[in-house]
Amino acid sequence: MEKIRVIYLVLLILLPIVLKTQTNNVIIPVGRASVIDGITEESEWSDAACLDFSGGEFVKLKVSENALLIALKGKSGGICSLALGNSEKVRILHASSGLITADYTISEDGKWYCSDGFEEPMTNELIPFKRGNVRHGEDYRIANIDQFGWYSNLVEMNDPSEYEFMIRLDNIKTEELYLSIVFFQVKARTRLAKLPVSLNDDCLNQPLIAGTAASGLDFKPKSWVKLKIEK
């Protein structure tokens, strides 16, 4: 009886750790290409892995044509700050009315410093904002993928609570790839939706979420969601 009791206590201690590990490791399936227009239709994302989005609705991920595709939905419109990287380098992808990119590298003091950014794409012509127009800001978005290897919808395109991302994997170290997402929800009771649920580092830094430079940050990529890309 005493032996059973000891085993039971050990399981109580270890079970949350096991569950957390399972939650923070996700196999990303290969799926169909999606239109990055800010409309997260079920028919378009039914072949994606679906993750809990603490404070929001959902996050969906899949791979298509050597690109990582991400769809997310919050409780209200807002600003999305996505972090993708490993133990040496992190890239911040900011999406709202504009797209902003910043690269961070870790220093000898253990802090992360902005090595390049925050930058917006250079384009000669910006198509006027018009809600519901799939080609809304298209030159701007194409310039962003040409320069920085990713793009998403802009908040004015369709439902402001939904974002879709396309991120090229050409120059990304996919064998060690971690993801976190923070969505600042302007009108929701819970202002910050986050992935993973346990996120507790400077991905939650307010100036960073807003798309402005911040240095000497504390990122913990290995505590984010680890992505295993299916080939």
Q: Is 217 part of any domain?
A: yes
Give the H/E segment covering residue 209.
Answer: helix 206-210
Assess if residue 78 is contained within a domain. yes
| DSSP letter assigned to residue 222 | G
pLDDT tens, residue by residue, 173-197: 888 999 999 999 988 888 999 999 9
For the cut 50, the answer to whether the pLDDT of residue 68 exceeds it is yes
Tell whether 9 is covered by a domain: no
Is residue 122 included in any domain, yes or no? yes
* Segments forming the whole domain that contains residue 37: 25-229
Q: What is d(CA 37, CA 64) in angstroms, rounded to the nearest whole number? A: 16
| Predicted confidence (pLDDT) at residue 205 exceeds the cutoff of 50 | yes
Residue 12 maps to a domain: no
99 assigned to some structural domain = yes
What is the tens place of the pLDDT at every residue in 84-141?
999 999 999 999 988 999 999 999 999 999 988 787 776 544 444 444 444 446 778 8
Would residue 63 count as lying in a domain? yes
Three-state DSSP state, 106: strand
| pLDDT at 139 (0 to 100) | 77
The number of folded domains in the chain is 1
* Other CB atoms within 10 Å distance of the CB of residue 5: 9
- Quote the pTM value: 0.84
Hey, what amino acid is at 230? E
The domain that contains 114 carries what CATH number? Answer: 2.60.40
Q: Is residue 57 part of a domain?
A: yes
